[in-house]
Amino acid sequence: MGGLFITVEGPEGAGKTTVLNKLGDELIKQGNDIVMTREPGGIKIAEQIRKVILDKENTEMDPRTEALLYAAARRQHLVEKVIPALKRGAIILCDRFIDSSLAYQGVARELGIEEVYLINQFAIQDIMPDLTIYFDVDVEIGLERIAANQGREVNRLDLEKKDFHLKVRKGFRQLLDRFPERIYEVDASRPLDCVYEEVKSKVEEAILSEKRV
Ligand X SMILES: Nc1ncnc2c1ncn2[C@@H]1O[C@H](COP(=O)(O)OP(=O)(O)O)[C@@H](O)[C@H]1O
Q: Contact positions toward ligand X, by CB under 6 A?
A: 10, 12-18, 145-146, 149, 188, 191-192, 195
Amino acid at 32: N
Q: Which is nearer to ligand X, 188 or 206 (CB)?
A: 188
Considering CB distances under 5 to 8 angstroms, the limit depending on partner class, which of ligand X, Mg ion, none binds residue 125? none
Within residues 6-45, the interface with Mg ion by CB under 5 A covers 16-17
Considering CB distances under 5 to 8 angstroms, the limit depending on partner class, which of Mg ion, ligand X, none binds residue 15? ligand X
Gap between the Cα atoms of 42 and 131, Å rounded: 19
Q: Which is nearer to ligand X, 77 or 96 (CB)?
A: 96
Q: Which of 71, 52, 73 is nearest to 61 (CA)?
A: 52
Gap between the Cα atoms of 106 and 172, Å rounded: 10
Gap between the Cα atoms of 108 and 113, Å rounded: 10
The four Cα atoms 59, 65, 68, 72 give a dihedral, to 10 degrees, of -60
Considering CB distances under 5 to 8 angstroms, the limit depending on partner class, which of ligand X, Mg ion, none binds residue 149? ligand X
Closest distance of CB 23 from ligand X, Å? 12
Point out which residues bind Mg ion (CB under 5 A): 16-17
